[in-house]
């Protein structure tokens, strides 16, 4: 029996030998073997030549570096050419050794992009047909989704695909697993259509049927991700002295760009199972605001129901920190929320008739309110009267605090229904690793999981990784928060501790 045969069980005759078709059939006989081998060899050489050609021709940096050697060779100085080549290769080696990231960005990443483009073009029509996305017309013509253009990035490509009549975007989405495998991507998803960025005067004059929408009938935008810039721990860069509260950097997105969140006019709900890295999101947020905390333009107050285990490391950065220890823990939490809700009322009435949003000053700073476990001020308060008071105060704070410069970041370990009733009051939502897939839509909103937010599939070995729904669109983005060690947090507290007064919660929070 040879390697391409198999065995099958015949009910009457016991085991029988059968021929099994393998993916690549191989030849029988010496002559056929020689032919087959030569074919494979030629294919290999062609592949290598294409690789080298792509490397040199498509890469201006490599092309420029190869010029001296090529010139010397053409000038009939082969030894000098060889020496120049060796120097060039050594130079590239040193570059790779010293600055691997820059080397990848300028040399190997363009090559990978070119290789991916080749793969799209080579495989596209077969892939569409074999995935069942081709349709036959009345005249027996076969129509398949057409690749219109490809926009490439270092870690992800977006393919604009025009669908033939008879194929819907939903059907295309069902075939994403086949497409992911065939195009050797880490992940594939369909993005909502990009909104046009037209000047307002032109938009106003456009007929309504051309108004930009989230979907574009007959077209899908397929995003394919390759490699993963989030496998390594992300570090927080030193914050700029001028803080822009509408774009605070808290980590990295999976396209390699910084992950920025806006704190203005919104609150943030942060959900994640235990050990998913909620602490790193909270701390990278605080770290990014360092200079503004020191100058007094931002005040941070916190509630840490674990007795200060999470937020206690950087206690000096907080204007008030309630740690909920002792017998009156629930009263502390209620008083904390009621004080803040009163502050929201005060600010709202001061701003009324003057401005819609607050511009932070030292007298009226921006207030960042960090609650490490939201359930501990709602569902987990045992006494029903206290719970009602806490919930009323939280509701008031969330509805009134947005415009007058108060931002609540509420962390949540277990997004159960009774806690999720608060969800709609948190316009910004971040979901880290979750225990069940049903929790994803509970946190990020309906349909987020089917648009690519696989929070339940995040590995336990990747704390700080999660998904967010981008502002102003329904697109889901994979992110990783920057990580600050305990020592980093202590250093942060030393560098950015606010001015002289640190007063207790019952002395007011602002």
Ligand X SMILES: Nc1ncnc2c1ncn2[C@@H]1O[C@H](COP(=O)(O)OP(=O)(O)OP(=O)(O)O)[C@@H](O)[C@H]1O
Which residues contribute to the annotated binding site for ATP?
Answer: 272-279
Cross-strand partners of 475: none
Q: Are strands 135-136 and 142-143 parallel, antiparallel or unpaired?
A: antiparallel
Interacting residues toward Mg ion by CB under 5 A: 278-279, 310
Interacting residues toward ligand X by CB under 6 A: 233, 272, 274-280, 413, 463-464, 480-481, 483
Residue 313: CB minimum distance to Mg ion, A? 12
> Pick from Mg ion, ligand X, none: which does 463 bind, CB < 5 to 8 A by kind?
ligand X
Give the residue nearest to Mg ion (CB): 279
Compare residues 308 and 427 and give the one whose CB is closer to Mg ion. 308
> Pick from ligand X, Mg ion, none: which does 339 bind, CB < 5 to 8 A by kind?
none
Compare residues 279 and 360 and give the one whose CB is closer to ligand X. 279
Paired tokens of 472: 């102003």
Compare residues 252 and 278 and give the one whose CB is closer to Mg ion. 278
Residue 408: CB minimum distance to Mg ion, A? 17
Give the rounded distance of the alpha carbon of 174 from its chain centre.
Answer: 22
> Pick from ligand X, Mg ion, none: which does 135 bind, CB < 5 to 8 A by kind?
none
Residue 431: CB minimum distance to ligand X, A? 12
Give the residue nearest to ligand X (CB): 464
Paired tokens of 346: 């005060």
Give 344-404 as a DSSP string.
HHHHHHHHTTT-SS----SSS-EEEEEES-GGGGTTT--SHHHHHHHHHHHHHHHHHHTTT
Compare residues 59 and 249 and give the one whose CB is closer to ligand X. 249
> Pick from ligand X, Mg ion, none: which does 305 bind, CB < 5 to 8 A by kind?
none
Distance CA 283, CA 248 (A): 12
Residue 302: CB minimum distance to Mg ion, A? 12
Paired tokens of 136: 């036959």
Annotated binding-site residues read 272-279
Compare residues 221 and 483 and give the one whose CB is closer to ligand X. 483
CB 406 within 8 A of CB 265: no
Residue 442: CB minimum distance to ligand X, A? 17
Compare residues 476 and 481 and give the one whose CB is closer to ligand X. 481
Residue 273: CB minimum distance to ligand X, A? 7
CB 173 within 8 A of CB 215: no
- Among 391, 416, 376, which Cα is nearest to 341's? 391
Compare residues 278 and 451 and give the one whose CB is closer to ligand X. 278
Give the rounded distance of the alpha carbon of 184 from its chain centre.
Answer: 20
Residue 270: CB minimum distance to Mg ion, A? 10
CB 464 within 8 A of CB 489: no
> Pick from ligand X, Mg ion, none: which does 145 bind, CB < 5 to 8 A by kind?
none
Paired tokens of 466: 């999660």
Compare residues 407 and 480 and give the one whose CB is closer to ligand X. 480
CB 236 within 8 A of CB 282: no
Which of 190-214 are b and which e, b meaning 16 or more Cβ less than 10 Å from the residue's Cβ?
bbbbeeeeeeeeeeeeeeeeeeeee
Give the rounded distance of the alpha carbon of 440 from its chain centre.
Answer: 15
CB 489 within 8 A of CB 314: yes
CB 503 within 8 A of CB 491: no
Residue 242: CB minimum distance to ligand X, A? 25
């Amino acid at each position: 029996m040879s390697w391409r045969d198999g065995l099958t069980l015949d009910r009457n005759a016991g085991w029988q030998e059968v021929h099994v078709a393998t993916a690549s059939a191989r030849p029988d006989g010496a002559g056929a073997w020689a032919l087959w081998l030569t074919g494979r060899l030629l294919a290999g050489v062609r592949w290598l030549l294409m690789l080298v050609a792509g490397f040199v021709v498509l890469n201006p940096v490599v092309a420029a570096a190869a010029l001296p050697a090529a010139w010397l060779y053409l000038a009939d100085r082969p030894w000098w050419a060889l020496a120049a080549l060796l120097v060039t290769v050594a130079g590239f080696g040193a570059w790779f050794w010293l600055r691997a990231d820059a080397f990848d960005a300028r040399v190997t990443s363009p090559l990978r992009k070119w290789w991916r483009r080749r793969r799209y073009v080579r495989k596209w029509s077969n892939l569409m047909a074999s995935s069942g996305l081709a349709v036959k017309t009345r005249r027996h013509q076969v129509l398949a989704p057409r690749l219109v253009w490809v926009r490439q990035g270092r870690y992800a490509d977006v393919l604009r695909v025009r669908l033939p009549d008879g194929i819907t975007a939903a059907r295309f989405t069902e075939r994403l697993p086949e497409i992911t495998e065939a195009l050797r991507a880490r992940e594939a998803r369909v993005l909502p259509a990009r909104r046009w960025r037209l000047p307002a005067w032109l938009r106003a004059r456009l007929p309504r049927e051309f108004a930009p929408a989230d979907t574009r009938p007959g077209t899908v935008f397929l995003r394919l991700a390759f490699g993963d810039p989030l496998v390594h721990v992300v570090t927080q860069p030193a914050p700029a002295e001028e803080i822009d509260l509408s774009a605070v950097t808290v980590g990295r997105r999976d396209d390699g760009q910084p992950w920025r969140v806006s704190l203005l006019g919104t609150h943030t709900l942060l959900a994640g199972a235990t050990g998913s890295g909620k602490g790193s999101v909270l701390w990278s947020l605080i770290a990014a605001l360092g200079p503004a905390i020191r100058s007094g333009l931002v005040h941070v107050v916190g509630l840490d129901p674990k007795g200060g285990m999470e937020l206690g490391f950087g206690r000096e950065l907080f204007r008030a920190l309630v740690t909920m220890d002792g017998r009156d823990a629930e009263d502390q939490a209620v008083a904390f929320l009621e004080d803040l809700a009163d502050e929201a009322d005060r600010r709202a009435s001061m701003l009324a008739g003057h401005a819609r949003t607050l511009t932070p000053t030292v007298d009226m700073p921006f207030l960042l309110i960090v609650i490490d476990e939201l359930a501990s001020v709602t569902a987990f308060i045992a006494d029903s009267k206290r719970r009602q008071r806490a919930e009323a105060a939280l509701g008031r704070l969330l509805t009134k605090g947005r415009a007058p410069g108060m931002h609540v970041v509420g962390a949540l370990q277990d997004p159960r229904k009774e806690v999720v009733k608060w969800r709609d009051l948190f316009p910004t939502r971040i979901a880290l690793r979750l225990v069940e897939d049903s929790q994803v839509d509970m946190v990020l909103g309906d349909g987020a999981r089917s648009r690519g937010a696989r929070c339940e599939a995040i590995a336990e070995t990747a704390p700080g990784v999660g998904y967010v729904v981008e502002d102003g669109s329904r697109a889901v983005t994979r992110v990783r928060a920057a990580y600050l060690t305990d020592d980093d947090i202590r250093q942060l507290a030393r560098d950015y501790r606010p001015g002289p007064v640190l007063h207790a919660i019952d002395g007011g929070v602002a």
